[in-house]
Amino acid sequence: MPNSALDNRTEGGRHPPASEGLWVRVLGENGVQKWVFYIPVVFMTLFLAVPMALTVVWSVFERTQFWMKPGLTLFAYETFFTSARAENYLFSMLHAAIAVVISFALAFPIAVFVRRRIPAALQHRVVLLFILPFMISELVRVFALRPVLGRNGVINTFLMDIGVISEPITVILFSPIGVVIGDVISFMPFMVFAGFLAMEAVQGYVFEVCEDLGARTLRAFREVIVPLAAPGIFAGSVFIFVNSVGGALVPTLLGGPGAVNAGLIVNQAIVAIDFPLAMAISAIMMATLMLLLYIGHRMFDLTKILEPLS
Amino acid sequence: MQDDYGSIWSYRAKWAYLLALVGVLLAPVFYVIYISFNEYGFAARIYEFTLEWYVVVLGDKILVASLEWTGYLALASVLSSVPMGLLAAKFYKRTRHKVAFVTLMLLPLFVPADIMASSLLVYFKNLNRVFEGLSDALGSELFYGWFDLGFLTAWIGQVLYTVPYAFVVILITMSRYRDQQTEAARGCGASAWQAFWQVEFPQIWVGVASSCAFVAILSFNEAPRTALLKGGFDTFANVLVAQMLNIGMSEESYAMAGIMSILSIAIIGSILIYSMARSERLERERRVKAQPLMSQ
Amino acid sequence: MAMKKSDTAAEDITGDLAVETFGVSKSYGQVRAVDEISVKVESGQYFVLLGPSGGGKTTLLRLIGGFVRPDAGRVLLHGQDVSNLPPNKRSTSMVFQSYALFPHMSVEKNVSYGLKLLKLPAPEIAEKVASILELVGLKGYNGRMPHELSGGQQQRVQLARSLVLESDILLLDEPLASLDANLRKDMCHELKRIQEQVGITFIHVTHNQEEALTIADRIAIIADGKMIEEGVPKEIYERPRKKFTADFIGQNNLIDGKIIGIDGNHVTIDLGFATVTVPRSEQSPDKGAEVTVSVPAEMIEITKEAPQDNEVSQFLQVVYEKETYLGFGSQHQILLPDGNGFVAMTKSSGEPFRLTHGDIAYVVWPTAAARLHTS
């Protein structure tokens, strides 16, 4: 005999009332639960997309003593282009490009090696191994280069001790070279991750097919692996490039007088209470970023990077 | 994928290179930690091990206060970024506009810290003005100063910075979860929340915990965004930067850098160890499962 | 121990229909997965949705279960419109193809999950779990974990988990697809036994014909998002109405032709290279209509000499090609005069077959065996 608890359930629980209230019809069956998923989108739009868009608007405002007032003037851009800043920006882009190339040359072969020779289960552990330097503050990692690269640092002391040089090498710190070294140390882990992600696009069998067809390593690399991994490589490169041009930390700590990049100029502008100028440089930076991402997408279809994630 | 015909030495050489690279990235940090334990600081001829500098740092009231603020900020970041990453991962699975959504969520990775922070700075100032105008129009002071530079603004900067990482880590974890299980739970009578909490979460909690650790460390280590967006307090990293630039590298600076590094290494190290232990256990289970299944 | 639905539920039911859909449609982007399907399932029936992969049968099942919301049309369960209700508010339960057991819970916890959500007292839950496990043949397996079970056992646990909730309607989404062939046959009979014992409605999705024919009280053929045909297994197999059904079920030879004469219960068809007489179908096509004739391969007899012209059988002159030995019988590949292929199945008789490639032969079948299709 069915007991009463079951009867109630069959009548009330599993056979719900046919009509629904207005509340349910407006918000959908799950009510609150539906819109809660939009919080990330709303947050990012409000605090990232909107400010980025407005940066362009603010860059054409007029500067006032402590703030700025709405206007339409290219004065900030003029200031930028007619001063040493524009030159510095271009130089910093050059240094950033060098940093990207060095990082790629050092990091990408690791990604290929791991993908090819290390069993799938262990691959993630290698990724974890590179997360370690990534998780140590950039601040500390860059700061730590001072006692290493400096006049009295490890490298100079060592080289002098073994007699290779008699005078300390000063060009590796507080100079563009120091900045490049700093950028490479800072961002190379990310190039390793981007390389891993890029290599997800290259299945194991590709290597075997290459060997089978007799393609020598370098050729296989150039003609097969790099094109397949291109989207990931490009994304990693853009990340390094953009953060090298726009991050003030490295030039501040390692660049010395005169080595500036966009991030540093922006900081200086804000300290000088010239907000339109700061916004103008930011806008130029963001435009550079958008342009790079667009070019990359046209060339490589960056959406392919997402496939391992779905 | 093992190359039976390849040279074992080339394999070992490549491993050596890999480890060397990690070593090069980490070596300067270990060197700093090494110096921080030296009685006589950097560039001294003699080395004498001491914890003195750490004691000095942890005894300094201002530094300890900054450490507290750093902690609050990290906690606030974890409590907001990880759930947001979770919501974003679930949203990603359901939405049809996947590319646009991911672009939006990962954009902070591609906008340098100083650029983002300066734009946000101007944004907050303007928001305040707008809100003030709104308040005045309504004849009250209700909306005054919501976005004054302070904890909230620093927090928003941190969240923007850390959400992409939480999002990606959780997304990768979720990709191994089978949606049929949520459906089966719903079919058994569970509401959406019950299905998540009782069936899905127990299977993804490792990824969620990892992203908590990552977000906490990232927040703790972050300097440029906080520098521009904070008000009324300093974080540990901010103080360190200020010292670096104004005083130069004192023994206390080394100790502070040491504290930050040791903390990060400890957390990531324990995750590494835990995940290795766990995968041993899972591997054993898998071997049991892999016994040939007869038609039963 | 039989688990019957409560008597009060029987009074609840409006009419005999457990499930009814009215013109339900569902699109994914440009693809129309389900295109205005209306189907009726009676209470206590074992109803099978059969069709090719990607044809929409799983989507239809999920529409009934509430895992997918219809773009158009309605879904009724026991006469009530449930189109907007999520799965946990419908009186259906679902069994999935695989990976649907909660891996972090034991068999006992899996099966009792739904009961715990209903906040039933613990002793009652334990009792129900024990009896349902016995019903599905897993007595004593309470403490096992899913990864310790074989494929067949996992499906039984899923079944137990759904049945213990005493829903009136059980939905099964290709439940046997991930099992190996022998196990599939056994589980098939098990499912039927359990359904008959419990007495509730089962709706089972599969692409496997043999499974469908064995187990179903009624079959609906679903392809390209539409319901092609519906009927009892015998009808579907022996007298399919639609050309698609004839093509999909069993092994039938389809030949296109034109009606040249209608005579009482029989129709004369011009196939181009010959004429045949076929029994009339329900649809009444006119003279001159383009139709398709289907002849089951197993009803074909192959002869060397031309058979006598008579009313009870039809024949065609063909060229014999090849025999493929299958064990219980043989399959013969044959060439029609218009160049198309033709297949015949014969049972192994112990005598060697006496035709070889290139021989002229005749295929003969009983007139009543052929069917006429207009669409």
Instruction: Supply the pTM of this predicted model.
Output: 0.83
In a domain, residue B130? The reply is yes
Would you state the pLDDT for residue B30? Answer: 87
A179 and A93 share one domain: yes
Would you state the pLDDT for residue A170? Answer: 76
- For residue A259, the SS3 value is coil
Asked if C371 and C239 touch (Cβ cutoff 8 Å), the reply is yes
**Is pLDDT larger for residue B6 or for residue C209?**
C209
Q: How confident is the model at residue A28 (pLDDT cuts 50, 70, 90)?
A: very low
Cα angle: B156, vertex B160, B162; to 5 degrees: 115
Highest mean pLDDT among A206-215, B285-294, C366-375: C366-375
pLDDT tens readout for residues C339-364 = 888 999 888 877 777 888 888 888 89
Boundaries of domain holding A24 = 2-41
In a domain, residue B79? The reply is yes
Flag whether pLDDT at A185 surpasses 50. Answer: yes
A193 and A79 share one domain: yes
Would you state the pLDDT for residue B217? Answer: 92
Flag whether pLDDT at A25 surpasses 80. Answer: no
**C137 Cβ under 8 Å from any chain B Cβ:** no
Flag whether pLDDT at A258 surpasses 60. Answer: yes
Residues contacting C185, CB < 8 A, separation 6+:
none
In a domain, residue A181? The reply is yes
Flag whether pLDDT at A15 surpasses 90. Answer: no
Mean pLDDT of C87-107: 89
In a domain, residue B183? The reply is yes
Secondary structure letter of residue B290 according to DSSP: T
Asked if C367 and C312 touch (Cβ cutoff 8 Å), the reply is yes
Separation of first and last alpha carbons in chain A: 50
Mean pLDDT of C172-200: 89
Would you state the pLDDT for residue A29? Answer: 47
Would you state the pLDDT for residue A215? Answer: 64
- What CATH number does residue B187 fall under? 1.10.3720.10
Please name the member of A33, A48, A125 whose beta carbon is closest to the beta carbon of B108: A48
Residues contacting B231, CB < 8 A, separation 6+:
B148, B149, B150, B151, B153, B154
Flag whether pLDDT at A289 surpasses 70. Answer: yes
Residue B18 to residue A144, Cβ atoms within 8 A: no
**B241 Cβ under 8 Å from any chain A Cβ:** yes
Chain C: closest CA distance from residue A283 (Å): 37
A11 and A84 share one domain: no
Would you state the pLDDT for residue C211? Answer: 92
pLDDT tens readout for residues B144-195 = 777 888 888 999 999 999 999 999 889 888 888 888 899 999 989 888 889 9
Strands in C72-77's sheet, in edge-to-edge order, are C31-42, C17-28, C72-77, C80-81
In a domain, residue A47? The reply is no
- Which among A244, A240, A259 has a CA at the least distance from the CA of A87? A259
Flag whether pLDDT at B289 surpasses 70. Answer: no
Mean pLDDT of B117-143: 84
Q: Which residues of B fall within a CB distance of 8 Å from C98?
A: 180
- The residue of chain A with its CA nearest to that of B23 is A133
Mean pLDDT (chain C, rounded):
88
**Is pLDDT larger for residue B182 or for residue A64?**
B182
Instruction: Calculate helix-pair angle for A120-135, B251-289, nearest 10 degrees.
Output: 160
Residue A40 to residue B224, Cβ atoms within 8 A: no
A193 and A265 share one domain: yes
In a domain, residue A64? The reply is no
**Is pLDDT larger for residue C153 or for residue A155?**
C153
Mean pLDDT of A267-294: 87
Would you state the pLDDT for residue A4? Answer: 36
Please name the member of A37, A41, A207 whose beta carbon is closest to the beta carbon of B104: A41
A239 and A137 share one domain: yes
Residues 154 to 183 of C: which have CB under 8 A from any B CB?
158, 161-162, 165, 180, 182-183
In a domain, residue B24? The reply is no
- What CATH number does residue A271 fall under? 1.10.3720.10
Name chain A's partners: 3 or more CB pairs within 8 A: B, C
Query: A52, exposed or middle or buried, with CB in 10 Å at 0-12, 13-18, 19+?
Result: buried
In sequence order, which ranges of chain C are alpha helices (DSSP H)? 7-12, 57-65, 107-117, 122-135, 151-163, 181-198, 209-215, 233-238, 243-248
Boundaries of domain holding B74 = 57-268
A18 and A79 share one domain: no
Q: How confident is the model at residue A24 (pLDDT cuts 50, 70, 90)?
A: very low
Asked if A130 and B23 touch (Cβ cutoff 8 Å), the reply is no
Mean pLDDT (chain B, rounded):
85
Mean pLDDT of B55-71: 88
Would you state the pLDDT for residue A27? Answer: 43
The span from the CA of C261 to the CA of C92, in Å, is 51
Q: Give the gyration radius of chain A's Cα atoms.
A: 27
In a domain, residue A68? The reply is no
Would you state the pLDDT for residue A305? Answer: 66
Q: Is the complex ipTM more than 0.90?
A: no
β C46-50/C201-206 pair status: parallel
Q: How many domains does chain A have?
A: 2
Partners of C365 in the beta sheet?
A: C314
Q: Give the gyration radius of chain B's Cα atoms.
A: 24
In a domain, residue B22? The reply is no
**A16 Cβ under 8 Å from any chain C Cβ:** yes
Partners of C331 in the beta sheet?
A: C324, C345
In a domain, residue A63? The reply is no
In a domain, residue A59? The reply is no
Mean pLDDT of A36-57: 91
**A297 Cβ under 8 Å from any chain B Cβ:** no
Partners of C323 in the beta sheet?
A: C332
A87 and A210 share one domain: yes
A16 and A116 share one domain: no
- The helix (H) or strand (E) run that includes residue C219 is strand C218-223
Residue B90 to residue A37, Cβ atoms within 8 A: yes
| Residue whose entry in the numeric block shows the structure tokens 């804000």 | A270
pLDDT tens readout for residues A88-142 = 888 888 889 999 999 988 888 888 888 777 777 777 778 878 888 888 888 888 8
Q: Which residues of B fall within a CB distance of 8 Å from C94?
A: 183-184, 187
Mean pLDDT of B107-118: 90
A130 and A11 share one domain: no
Q: How confident is the model at residue A303 (pLDDT cuts 50, 70, 90)?
A: low
Q: Which residues of A fall within a CB distance of 8 Å from B276?
A: 125
Would you state the pLDDT for residue C14? Answer: 44
In a domain, residue B289? The reply is no
**B142 Cβ under 8 Å from any chain A Cβ:** no
Question: Residue A91 corresponds to which tokens in the numbers above?
Answer: 């130089």
β C17-28/C31-42 pair status: antiparallel
In a domain, residue B229? The reply is yes
Flag whether pLDDT at C40 surpasses 70. Answer: yes
Would you state the pLDDT for residue A32? Answer: 59
Residue C80 to residue A11, Cβ atoms within 8 A: no
Residue C12 to residue A15, Cβ atoms within 8 A: yes
Instruction: Calculate helix-pair angle for C122-135, C181-198, nearest 10 degrees.
Output: 130
Residue C6 to residue A7, Cβ atoms within 8 A: yes
The span from the CA of A226 to the CA of A210, in Å, is 13
β C313-325/C329-335 pair status: antiparallel
Would you state the pLDDT for residue B82? Answer: 95
A35 and A182 share one domain: no
Would you state the pLDDT for residue A216? Answer: 65
Residue B212: what residue type?
Answer: C
In a domain, residue B288? The reply is no
Q: Which residues of A fall within a CB distance of 8 Å from C5?
A: 10
Would you state the pLDDT for residue C107? Answer: 93
Work out the percent of chain C whose per-residue pLDDT is above 70.
96
Flag whether pLDDT at B281 surpasses 90. Answer: no
**Is pLDDT larger for residue B142 or for residue B81?**
B81
- The helix (H) or strand (E) run that includes residue C169 is strand C169-173
- For residue C65, the SS3 value is helix
User: Which CA distances in Å does C295 have to B66, C140, C276, C318, C326?
Assistant: 87, 51, 11, 15, 20
Question: Residue B119 corresponds to which tokens in the numbers above?
Answer: 């734009």
Secondary structure letter of residue B38 according to DSSP: B
Q: Which residues of B fall within a CB distance of 8 Å from A264?
A: 114
pLDDT tens readout for residues C2-22 = 333 444 444 444 457 889 999
Chain C: closest CA distance from residue A199 (Å): 29
**C166 Cβ under 8 Å from any chain A Cβ:** yes
Chain C: closest CA distance from residue A101 (Å): 42
Q: How many domains does chain B have?
A: 1
pLDDT tens readout for residues B190-240 = 888 899 999 999 999 988 998 999 999 999 888 888 888 888 888 888 888
A233 and A125 share one domain: yes
